[in-house]
Chain A
Amino acid sequence: MAAAFDYRQAEEIRDAFARHGVRYLFLGKSGAILLGFPDTTQDADLFAEKSPDNGRRIVAALQELGFNLSAAHAEEIVRGKDFVQLKNGPFDLDLIFAPDGIENFQQAWRRHVEVEGFPVCHLDDIIASKLATNRAKDRESLPRLEAFREYWLQHRR
């Protein structure tokens, strides 16, 4: 089992993805945490633009980070599966190419927020995605996340 995700690993993603020109955003609770939401989660969710070119960039960045991708896995990422779950590297990562509740990457990118160089979905998109997904664990955390949204909108600089 991989170790818990930490700041250094987030930096490694940020830097490797930047080197390879990957178009992506932190999404889900990991994104909310980057925006300041105090809660716990287990892994990082990345919303990546779905295109063969971006897929090739993702594969190159992931291999550089130490993910063990077979040729078949790499081909799937380039082809753009909607959801890829990676537990074969230094930390766990979910690559989401078509998240529930968000129309497309370009729209999310226009609204996105940068935190210490980390590209993060706007909290409205994170909440929209959780509302659309409607899992028990999301329903449980949504009232507090929506309260955080109000706080964040009032206090963000």
Chain B
Amino acid sequence: MAAIPPEQRAEWEAEFEAAARRPLRTRMRYAFIRTYKPVLDDAPYRSFDTTAEYREWCEKNLPSWLGYGRGV
């Protein structure tokens, strides 16, 4: 893992501690959000023979800003 600045690590650990004090039901209410994702949300059903085909489809069809592209 890349070196994480101590202050960043401390901030994350405080977040982990805070989350651990909440019941799962509450954590899930904070965690699951819903926003429209162009292209991805435009079909009710998709299937792919292989996971590699799915990854390729995402790279070719989804806007790059959605973050589904690989590499680098």
Residues of A1-31 whose CB lies within 8 A of B? 1-7, 10, 30
Total interface residues in chain B, CB < 8 Å: 46
Which residue among B15, B27, B33, B47 has the maximum number of chain A CB atoms within 10 Å of its CB?
B47
Residues of B within 8 A of A (CB): 1-2, 4, 9, 12-13, 15-16, 18-20, 24-25, 27-37, 41, 43-51, 53-55, 58, 64, 66-72
Is the beta-carbon distance between A7 and B29 smaller than 8 angstroms? yes
List of B residues within 8 angstroms of A88 by Cβ: 44-45
Query: Which of the residues B31, B35, B47, B58 comes within 8 Å of A81, measured between beta carbons?
Result: B47
What is the interface size of chain A, counting residues whose CB is below 8 A from a CB of the partner? Answer: 53
Contacts of A77 in B (CB 8 A): 47
Contacts of B45 on A, CB cut-off 8 Å? Answer: 69, 73, 84-88
Interface residues of A (CB under 8 A from B): 1-7, 10, 30, 33-34, 36-43, 68-69, 73, 76-77, 81-88, 96, 98-100, 115-116, 133-137, 139-140, 143-144, 146-148, 151-152, 155
In contact, A136 and B67 (Cβ under 8 angstroms)? yes
Give Cα A108–Cα B54 distance, bound, in whole angstroms: 21
Complex contacts, A69 vs chain B, CB 8 Å: 45
